[in-house]
Amino acid sequence: MMHSDINQERHVVAIDVGSAEIRVCHSIILQDGYVNIVGYGHCQSSGINARGISSIEKLRETLSTAFSVSKKALDRVYTEKSLVDINNPMIIVSIGGSWIYGRANEGSTEVHRQVTHRDMEVAYNNCRALNKKDFQLITSCVNCYQVDENEHVEEPLAMMGGQLKVLSYLIYGNSSYIGNLKQCIDFIQTNLQCEFASTGFSAANAVVDENEKKLGVCVLNIGASAVDICVYDKGDLVYCGSSRKAGSWVTRQIAVLNSLTEENAEKLKCMHGYAWADLVTDRDLAVTAPCVGTGLETTIMIKNLAEIIESAYNEIFTEVMQELGTNIGNMNIDMAAGFVLTGGGAKIEGVDRALSEYLKQMGADITKVRRAGFLSSTITGIKDSLDPYSDAALVGMLRYSRELETHESQVTSDSVFGRFFGGICEWYKKEM
């Protein structure tokens, strides 16, 4: 889909930096607000692992490769005569795992008779003034306002009162990690506008709608080295965090218990794995794989493989529940919409059933679980090339860029993303 007037179109690139793969998506933000995906590429990560960036040089090369692959399709669509400046895109980069810190905060200001745009800006900036050592603010999501004793106000402008309060959820990214990522992006092209977004928050806004957020929902983005957790209650973002055991933990358990390389264990998991062992009804099904060191073939029963995977996922779920218990256990959140699973670790068959059964065994009130699908009504182009699990964060970031181009926030800040996130919750309530 292309628009007849492209003078206001914008080239935006979303980059999801994972410890297993790096994924890049080129898009054009159309004048009518749609996101047209015109380029996509991914490659195996190098220079980054579960513990962070291990080699700037290798990560630069990996990012450059993924960027080049994805840009080939873009170049076929947009020529040098195009009015879209494809050589100076806005870059949005994801950050997840332990490199993210989130917390709720509020800011307030006195009001002289009626709430003005200026009052809203001051309250919002006061809310954002919370500093955290070694971290910098990347996301400030306005949940609601309060005017005097009038709580949970969606639109305070022109309301009578003496005090305006804004309640937000703030997400920070590790400053050193961001600085190193920015170095790598500059290697691709210098002087690019580069912003950062939470992986979990991005993925959540690609796969859950406003109705689920109002009911209460927990999104688990299961990556290779971390599970990014995002919780909504009554439409508000209330928690964004992570747990460390994830997809690579499952792979390692398969490798250790069967004397396999992690590479071969990963292949077995992806090709023959089930996260819920009861899905394997034929106990005679088996595969062979070379043992580490000797190279001799070993036979692995599919049923036994599934039992290992199910047990490993149960450990992942246990860690996730501990994180939720520690951070939102006293918030009285309904979470009636249950859990939504996305990320590469959600692709394995039976993972939704495994979590549901785990929750039942734990005596949880909520056992509703589903795997993700895109909310793609505003996305056009080669969207079918994207995976609804592994590419959820990419789609979420592109939805953000659509918001940047098509909606005006009620507040301003020194950051483009500050302007966006100040109004994002209000926009989603209208959009969904």
Distance of alpha carbon 76 from alpha carbon 344, whole angstroms: 29
Let me know whether 215 and 323 are in one domain. yes
Count of structural domains within the chain: 2
Distance of alpha carbon 210 from alpha carbon 234, whole angstroms: 9
Q: Which tokens go with 332?
A: 């009285």
Query: How would residue 334 be classed by pLDDT, with cut points 50, 70 and 90?
Result: confident
HSE of 386 in the Cβ direction (CA atoms, 13 Å)?
35
- Mean pLDDT, range 254-275, rounded to an integer: 96
Let me know whether 274 and 191 are in one domain. no
Let me know whether 181 and 295 are in one domain. no
Let me know whether 14 and 72 are in one domain. yes
In this predicted model, what pLDDT tens digit does every residue of 305-327 receive, in sequence order? 999 999 999 999 999 999 999 99
In this predicted model, what pLDDT tens digit does every residue of 138-183 receive, in sequence order? 988 899 999 999 998 989 999 999 999 999 999 999 999 999 999 9
Query: How would residue 388 be classed by pLDDT, with cut points 50, 70 and 90?
Result: confident
Distance of alpha carbon 130 from alpha carbon 94, whole angstroms: 22
User: Is 160 part of any domain?
Assistant: no
CA distances to 38, 262, 327, 414 from 292, in Å: 42, 9, 41, 54
Give the pLDDT confidence score for residue 82 in this predicted structure: 54
> Which of 253-257, 367-371, 377-381 shows the lowest mean pLDDT across its residues?
377-381
Rounded to 5 degrees, φ, ψ at 268 are -60, -45
Report yes or no: 28 and 374 within 8 Å, Cβ to Cβ.
no
In this predicted model, what pLDDT tens digit does every residue of 15-27 receive, in sequence order? 999 999 999 998 8
Percent of the chain residues past pLDDT 90, beyond the cut: 62
Query: How would residue 71 be classed by pLDDT, with cut points 50, 70 and 90?
Result: confident
293: left (phi over 0), alpha (psi -120 to 50) or beta: left
Q: Which tokens go with 326?
A: 């520690």
Give the pLDDT confidence score for residue 414 in this predicted structure: 37
Percent of the chain residues past pLDDT 70, beyond the cut: 86
Residue 252: helix, strand or coil by DSSP? helix
Amino acid at 257: L
- Mean pLDDT, range 7-13, rounded to an integer: 75
Element holding 10 (H helix, E strand)? strand 10-17
User: Is 122 part of any domain?
Assistant: no
Let me know whether 353 and 320 are in one domain. yes
**Residue ranges making up the domain that contains 54:** 10-98+176-202+374-404
User: Is 410 part of any domain?
Assistant: no
Q: What is the distance in angstroms between the CA of the first residue and the CA of the last residue of the chain?
A: 22
Let me know whether 369 and 381 are in one domain. no
- Which ranges in 23-115 belong to alpha helices (H)? 56-77
Query: How would residue 186 be classed by pLDDT, with cut points 50, 70 and 90?
Result: confident
- Mean pLDDT, range 360-375, rounded to an integer: 89
User: Is 284 part of any domain?
Assistant: yes
User: Is 330 part of any domain?
Assistant: yes
Let me know whether 295 and 222 are in one domain. yes
Amino acid at 426: E
Domain boundary among the residues 357, 373, 389 is at 373
Query: How would residue 86 be classed by pLDDT, with cut points 50, 70 and 90?
Result: low
Q: Which tokens go with 223?
A: 């990556």
Distance of alpha carbon 246 from alpha carbon 320, whole angstroms: 10
Query: How would residue 55 be classed by pLDDT, with cut points 50, 70 and 90?
Result: very high
Let me know whether 194 and 256 are in one domain. no
Beta bridge pairs of residue 193: 90
Q: Which tokens go with 108?
A: 């307030």
User: Is 396 part of any domain?
Assistant: yes
The pTM of this model reads: 0.88
Query: How would residue 2 be classed by pLDDT, with cut points 50, 70 and 90?
Result: very low
Distance of alpha carbon 309 from alpha carbon 327, whole angstroms: 27
Let me know whether 262 and 387 are in one domain. no
Report yes or no: 251 and 262 within 8 Å, Cβ to Cβ.
yes
CB atoms within 10 A of CB 315: 13
Give the pLDDT confidence score for residue 423 in this predicted structure: 40
Let me know whether 363 and 380 are in one domain. no
User: Is 288 part of any domain?
Assistant: yes
pLDDT higher than threshold 70 for residue 1: no
pLDDT higher than threshold 80 for residue 408: no
294: left (phi over 0), alpha (psi -120 to 50) or beta: alpha
pLDDT higher than threshold 60 for residue 229: yes
Domain boundary among the residues 355, 373, 391 is at 373
Residue-by-residue DSSP string for 191-238: T-EEEEEEHHHHHHHHH--HHHHHH-EEEEEE-SS-EEEEEEETTEEE
Q: What is the mean pLDDT of the chain?
A: 86
CATH of the domain at 253: 3.30.420.40
Let me know whether 286 and 364 are in one domain. yes
> Which of 93-102, 335-344, 379-388 shows the lowest mean pLDDT across its residues?
379-388
223: left (phi over 0), alpha (psi -120 to 50) or beta: beta
Q: Which tokens go with 186?
A: 């500059």
Pairing of strands 163-174, 150-153: unpaired
- Mean pLDDT, range 47-51, rounded to an integer: 87
Let me know whether 353 and 236 are in one domain. yes
Give the pLDDT confidence score for residue 235 in this predicted structure: 92
User: Is 140 part of any domain?
Assistant: no
| DSSP code at position 256 | H
Tell which wins on pLDDT, 387 or 351.
351
pLDDT higher than threshold 90 for residue 6: no
Give the pLDDT confidence score for residue 425 in this predicted structure: 40
CA distances to 94, 203, 266, 268 from 298, in Å: 40, 38, 16, 12
